[in-house]
Amino acid sequence: MQTKTASVAAVSAAVGLNINNGKTKVLKYNTENSNPITLDGETLEDVESFTYLGSIVDEQGGSDADVKARFGKARVAFLQLKNIWNSKQLLTSINVRIFNTNVKAVLLYGAETWRTTTTTIKKVQVFINGCLRKIINIHWPDTISNSLL
């Protein structure tokens, strides 16, 4: 890994690009090598996870942290639109379209990179169904199947 880092730095310098040692982080994935990576005599910081293009990448290679973060962001997006969900002037079909474009898009951003386990799929479906029940105003004593949603 050290030789590859030095090679990238050399090629970058040849074309006039500099690597900022303070901003550069190292994430070691599935490796027994615990030697620190250095660049220009400085040791680069080891991290356990980082955000890349809006998705969280961690050293286990799993998607649990990213899924959890997406649920949090989608919940915030849903709650920010609370006035729209409570509005009596909008049709339910319009509310569902607003939900699909503003909340579902936030929830599923980067989902193509997730490890799709049955647990993850079930959590996503439970979240979506819960939001739709709130939009349609279906409360606990009222029963309606998920397939009708």
The candidate with the shortest Cα–Cα distance to 70, out of 30, 110, 31, 35, is 110
Q: Is the pLDDT of residue 19 over 80?
A: yes
For residue range 34-79, what is the model confidence (pLDDT) as tens digits? 888 888 888 888 888 888 888 888 777 778 888 999 999 999 999 9
pLDDT of residue 149: 60
pLDDT of residue 112: 87
pLDDT band for position 16 (cuts 50, 70, 90)? very high
Domain extent, residue 122, equals: 61-136
The candidate with the shortest Cα–Cα distance to 67, out of 120, 136, 12, 14, is 120
Residue 35 resides in a domain: yes
Q: Is the dihedral of CA 63, 51, 32, 18 positive or negative?
A: positive
- In angstroms, the CA 2 to CA 38 distance is 7
Q: Give the SS3 label for residue 68.
A: helix
Residues 130 and 65 in one domain: yes
Calculate what percentage of the chain has a pLDDT beyond 90: 46
- Give the residue with greater pLDDT, 2 vs 30: 2
Find out whether 12 and 19 touch, Cβ atoms under 8 Å: yes
Mean pLDDT of the chain: 88
pLDDT of residue 54: 80
Task: Please tell me the total count of domains within the chain.
Answer: 2
Question: Of the ranges 4-8, 57-61, 87-91, 142-146, which one carries the lowest mean pLDDT score?
Answer: 142-146
Residue 71 resides in a domain: yes
Which residues, in sequence order, are CB contacts of 128 under 8 Å at separation 6+? 104, 107
Residues 119 and 84 in one domain: yes
Residues 32 and 66 in one domain: no
Calculate what percentage of the chain has a pLDDT beyond 70: 97
